[in-house]
Amino acid sequence: MRSPDLLRHAWAVASKDLRVEFRSRTAILAAAVFVVLVLVVFKFGHDETAVSNSDLAPSILWVTFTFAAILALNRAFQLELENQALDGLLLAPIARGSIYLGKLVANLIFVATIELLGVPLVALFFNVPVLPFLGPLAAIIALATVGFVAVGTLFSAMTTRTRYAELLLPVLVLPFMIPPLSWAVLATVRLLAARPLSEIVGWLNMLAVYDVVFVALALMLFPATVNE
Task: Write down the least CB distance from residue 208 to other proteins, Å.
Answer: 13
Pick the closer one to other proteins by CB: 127 or 162: 162
| Per CB under 8 A, 92 contacts other proteins | yes
CA dist., res. 194 & res. 133, Å (int): 8
DSSP H helices in 127-164: 134-159
| Per CB under 8 A, 110 contacts other proteins | no
CA dist., res. 211 & res. 188, Å (int): 18
- N-terminal to C-terminal alpha carbon distance within the chain: 20
Task: Write down the least CB distance from residue 45 to other proteins, Å.
Answer: 21
Tell me which of 2, 49, 93, 131 binds other proteins, using CB under 8 A. 93
Tell me which of 121, 210, 211, 215 binds other proteins, using CB under 8 A. 210
Q: Which of 152, 115, 153, 104 has the alpha carbon at shortest distance from 137?
A: 115
Tell me which of 83, 193, 197, 201 binds other proteins, using CB under 8 A. 83
Tell me which of 85, 124, 193, 212 binds other proteins, using CB under 8 A. 85
Tell me which of 3, 23, 45, 47 binds other proteins, using CB under 8 A. 23
Contact 159, 80 (CB under 8 A): no
| Per CB under 8 A, 182 contacts other proteins | yes
CA dist., res. 28 & res. 72, Å (int): 8
In total, the chain counts a number of residues equal to 228
CA dist., res. 194 & res. 48, Å (int): 19
| Per CB under 8 A, 162 contacts other proteins | yes
Report the half-sphere exposure of 32 (CA within 13 A, side-chain side): 9
Instruction: Kindly list the residues in this chain that would bind other proteins in the complex (CB under 8 A).
Output: 5, 8-9, 12, 16, 19-20, 23-24, 79, 82-85, 87-94, 151, 154-155, 158-159, 161-164, 168, 171-172, 174-176, 178-179, 182-183, 202, 206, 210, 213-214, 217, 221, 224-225, 227-228
